[in-house]
Amino acid sequence: MLRRKKHKVYRREAVERLIRALPRGQLLDAPCGDGAISHLARSLGFQVWACDIDPSALADRHGVQFQVVDLNRDLPYADGAFDVVLSIEGIEHLEHPGHCVQEFARVLKPGGTLVLSTPNVNNIQSRLHFLLSGHFSGFKTLTRRALEPRETYPHWHVSVPYLPALVYLLTRSGLQLERVEITMIKRKQWLLAPLAALLWIGAQFNNNAPVGRWLGSWKAMLGRSVILTAKKRAPDVT
């Protein structure tokens, strides 16, 4: 539990560094969870809207406009309403992540920024879990929770956030990937460094695309979470 809280702090610090560099404006935090990032964004000068499927989320709503929203469905916001959309550790809980990304793109202004974080299933440990057990780390399928109706346990991991698939969803929604980073490297991952070295060497020869190179990077192989930053492309002017 302590390590999980520590990682949460690392992730929030990484997100803070990203949003500090963004122009101030209208910001959507979806899902907002406990509201820590919503209030951080507000303290940095953003006008903040927040939403979550849990009605009890964001206990302190002072200065933040909150709505109960299911991110599997259409967002209750106008086209181009926001300069920034934050989605921290949310997309892996959705049954329809593609639709959610499309909605994030719709409510962003042209030139607006999406910051999205999710578990890094591309790391060595997760790949080994898949090889040996048929599931990625944190994405077990044959569990009591996974077999329960969604209404009974709505926050369980549902969609596997494989990086190439996420980049594809971003691109087809009109979002251009600008940055990929990780929040923390687990100590025990270094035990897998020899295997990571072999995969890294292979990646240098077999992949020229940016995503392919990133998948073969040390950070991707050892990091716990991934943070994607993407910008909404402006419409073509003819």
Please name which of 8, 228, 232 lies closest in space to residue 116, comparing C-alpha atoms.
228
Three-state secondary structure call for residue 96: coil
238 residues of the chain, pLDDT tens digit each: 445 555 666 778 889 999 999 999 999 999 999 999 999 999 999 999 999 999 999 888 889 999 999 999 999 999 999 999 999 999 999 999 999 999 999 999 999 999 999 988 887 777 676 667 777 777 765 444 444 555 444 457 788 888 889 999 999 999 999 998 877 665 555 555 555 555 555 555 555 566 666 766 767 777 788 999 999 998 765 5
Residues contacting residue 133 through CB under 8 Å, at least 6 positions apart:
none
CA 212 to chain CA mean position, Å: 19
The number of beta carbons lying within 10 Å of the beta carbon of residue 7 is 15
Q: Which residues pair with 27 in a beta bridge?
A: 48, 84
Phi, psi (deg, nearest 5) at residue 7: -65, -35
* pTM (two decimals): 0.82
Distances (CA, A) of 155 to 3, 110, 120, 158, 227: 20, 31, 18, 8, 20
Class of domain 2-232: alpha beta
- Structure token pair of residue 204: 């240098």
